[in-house]
Amino acid sequence: MIDGGDVLLGFVAAAIRVATPLVLAALGEAVVERGGVINLGVEGSMLAGALAAALGATWGGPWAGFAAGGAAGLAVAGVFAAVAIGARADQIITGTAVTLGAVGLTGAVYRATLGTAAAGLTIPTFGAGPLGQGAPTWLALLLAPLTWWLLFRTRFGLQLRAAGEGREEAEAMGVPVRRVRALAVLAGGMLAGWGGAALVLAQVGSFAERMTAGRGFIAIAIVVLGRWHPVGVLVAGLLFGAATALQFLFQAMGLAVPYQLFLMFPYVLTLLALARGVGGVRAPAELGRNA
């Protein structure tokens, strides 16, 4: 007989675990968008972070892999910052190009470094910590209030929000808008890289080409649903995690539901979030405008 309490606890644990990569990436993107920049390269940073984490963990353990994932995500974001902020190119086109480039580059590096050996490769991963959650999950939960503090209680956060609401006014007040935005993009890329690393080291345990499967774009939708606020982003990320984890709940209950329905569920939820969430929310005034 199935214990309802155990099933529920398993569902909650799975929801939190699945939400972790999304929350990390979405927190980073929330910081970026507060400054008036939209980075569609989040997917690319996550994918680069996932591959770097797999390689780093193979050579130096899970913490080395996690650090490598953050560095790779930051590097990808650096390309976006140089082109979209430094050269003032279109943010949407640049972010899309960065993601497509990351897809191709990670595929090439993966085949060159791992290739057919990947099937038998054992990647050291984070073990289960308190309440059955790995270290990346606790980091994500800690980063939500820290991100709130950064945005609303520091000089940098004030400058960033000013840049996101009125670039010309912020510059007139002496705010180094381009530098502040670039720093935000780099920080967001690092968090997205950590999100990709968490996917490999605390959830899947292996790497595959294009394994992020649109999670970077889902993270952008989470930012909108969370109203560009770190706490809201955390709650929205957990909601998406719960939507994905429903398949485990139904399987535990013995319900024969095609798994393909659950694969599409997060994307349907993304569309609903964008359709229903945007109407009552005001985005940063400068969001997406080229400096």
CATH code at 183? Answer: 1.10.3470
Does some domain include residue 123?
Answer: no
Does some domain include residue 194?
Answer: yes
pLDDT in tens, 267-282: 777 777 667 655 566 8
Does some domain include residue 289?
Answer: no
pLDDT of the residue at 1 = 44
Work out how many domains the chain is built from and give that number: 1
Does some domain include residue 147?
Answer: yes
Comparing 171-185, 240-254, 266-280, the range with the smallest average pLDDT is: 266-280
pLDDT in tens, 209-225: 899 989 999 999 899 98
Please name which of 106, 39, 95, 96 lies closest in space to residue 69, comparing C-alpha atoms. Answer: 106
Residue type, 112: A
pLDDT at 34 over 90: yes
**Mean pLDDT, residues 44-60 taken together:** 95
**Mean pLDDT, residues 126-153 taken together:** 90
Does some domain include residue 288?
Answer: no
- The rounded percent of the chain whose pLDDT value lies above 90 is 64
Residue type, 183: L
Please name which of 224, 208, 281, 269 lies closest in space to residue 243, comparing C-alpha atoms. Answer: 269
Range of the domain at 79: 4-118+134-280
- Return the residue matching tokens 């270290």: 135
Does some domain include residue 291?
Answer: no
pLDDT at 117 over 70: no
Does some domain include residue 126?
Answer: no
Would the pTM count as exceeding 0.85?
yes
Residue 27 banded pLDDT, cuts 50, 70, 90: very high
Please name which of 172, 162, 216 lies closest in space to residue 191, comparing C-alpha atoms. Answer: 216
Does some domain include residue 125?
Answer: no
